[in-house]
Structure 1
Amino acid sequence: MNVLLWIIQILLGVAFVVSGAGKFFPPGERAREQQAYREDFTPAQLRGIGALEVLGGLGVVLPWATGIATFLTPLAAAGLGLIMIGAAVVHRRRKEGIAVNLVLLAMAVIVVAGRF
């Protein structure tokens, strides 16, 4: 079970660090078309969401890996789950697919349950 939790934590961490970092930079034309949700947010809001995703991505891995403040790992996973609920609401309102959001939410729930 511990190995499975580590795999999920690392996948979540990578996914959110990459996704969050992508929100800091203005997208190219092709990315703008694929990320139409950006129209719903100001640049400052996108940077804030990106910062939360990067911090959550790091928080889901680093505390447990270092053994320092390990209670932060399930809290970070819970925060990422809340971000995914919000993302699913935004994508659903735009009539876009939410499958990826639900998978990431399920992974976050597994980490919360496994590490608390």
Structure 2
Amino acid sequence: MNAVFWVLQGALAALQLLSFASMPYLVRHGHARRPVGAAAAATFGLCCGLGLVVPWLTGHAQVLTPIAATATVLAVVYDSVTNRLDTADVAFNTTVLVMAVAVAAGRFHDLASGTAPTLTGQGPLLGGAALLVLTI
């Protein structure tokens, strides 16, 4: 089950990071209704994307991973409520919502049951590997 959560976390993080990377294009070409709000939402997505992977990977502050997944759930619900969405957008938001709820519930369960991995002495190594992967 841990592998499933890692795949979901990676996919959600990639979506959040792509959202952040595409924001300058959307603002520059006038696709964002409120550029400042769109930039703030993209920055929030960047924080959530990093929070979905890095804390659990390094073993430090692991509670941030399910919190980031919960924040992603709240962002998707807010997006769904405040924007007019067509059928494809609703399907995409529902998929992201289900993925984020699964990660949040699973990782909160891992923390509560004590099955969260402990990486004694390996945190700096994995943290460096995580930064290397993020820069690529």
> Of the candidates 37, 42, 47, which is equivalent to residue 50 of structure 1?
42
Contact residue 21 and residue 51 of structure 1 kept, 8 A: no
Q: Which residue of 2 aligns with 1:35?
A: none
Could you list the runs of 5+ residues in structure 2 that have no partner in the other structure?
109-136
Could you list the runs of 5+ residues in structure 1 that have no partner in the other structure?
33-37
> TM-score by structure 2 length?
0.72
> Of the candidates 74, 77, 85, which is equivalent to residue 82 of structure 1?
74
Q: In structure 2, what residue type is equivalent to 1:79?
A: A
Percent of aligned pairs with the same residue?
34
Distance 1:55 1:115 in 2: 18
> Pairwise CA RMSD of aligned residues?
1.6
> TM-score by structure 1 length?
0.83
Q: In structure 1, what residue type is equivalent to 2:4?
A: L
Question: Cα distance, 1:22 vs. partner?
Answer: 1.6
Question: Cα distance, 1:96 vs. partner?
Answer: 2.1
Contact residue 20 and residue 51 of structure 1 kept, 8 A: yes
- Is 1:96 the counterpart of 2:86? The answer is yes
